[in-house]
Amino acid sequence: MNRKVICALDTSDLNEALATVKRLRDHVGAFKIGHALTLAEGLSVIDRLQDAGAERIFLDLKFHDIPNSVAIAVREAARRAVWMMTLHITGGPAMLTAAVEETRSFSEQNRPLLVGVSVLTSLDQTTLNRDLGVDREIEDHMVRLSMLAMQCEMDGVVCSAHEVKALREAMGSRGIIVTPGIRPSSGDTHDQKRVGSAPQAIADGADYLVIGRALTSSLDVEKTLGQLELAVA
């Protein structure tokens, strides 16, 4: 098993998700779910996946709302023994702090990790500047928002392989870095603009790598991990 690998279950089909968990649970450290499964099945899907062998669930719903609403959402997710969840850092310090304070009502063993999202991997520089009106380079914008997350005592941040090095240098040893958009060198980038390789992301300071289609569609998981240059640990 490689504990650094998080498998993304990008499907709304519960049976498919359960089968994938059973097939990959001995190879990866966690499973990520998002709107596709939770909107179709409700939060009870977390229990079903845990029963199938998903010991750690990464709930990627990117909460972004007023502080009280986000605190309630975090509480409900924590009650399901979620291991990690995402929030949009642009929700601001009051929202982030409310989420952090909510997790502190749970025991250390049951407390979920909160990681902040700054710029989605589907966005590029042109979109950030021209369409969203943010007058910064992507890397600079991500560093600034990520440092805000750290000031609010979040557990970490999400970033593409392109920004891992800069964020790790800015954050130092504080916080974990979760990196999606990991592809084999010959892989399709699909709808993500900023992708990268597993070895480089880890070398630059990423703690966890999110991998989806490359794993879920693989007929030989160990071979695929080898192609990604990820040793089974």
Q: Catalytic pick from 4, 22, 62, 165?
A: 62
Q: Dihedral angle at the C-alpha atoms of 181, 223, 16, 44, nearest 10 degrees?
A: -60
Please answer whether residues 157 and 144 qualify as being in contact, where contact means their C-beta atoms are separated by less than 8 angstroms: no
Task: Tell me whether residue 208 is exposed, middle or buried, using C-beta atoms within 10 angstroms of its C-beta: 0 to 12, 13 to 18, 19 or more.
Answer: buried
Please answer whether residues 77 and 43 qualify as being in contact, where contact means their C-beta atoms are separated by less than 8 angstroms: yes
The two three-digit tokens of residue 163, written as one number: 């920004």
The rounded distance, in Å, linking the Cα atoms of 232 and 43 is 31
Please answer whether residues 27 and 221 qualify as being in contact, where contact means their C-beta atoms are separated by less than 8 angstroms: yes
Query: The tokens 């954050």 sit on which residue?
Result: 171
Q: 62 catalytic, yes or no?
A: yes
Catalytic residues: 62
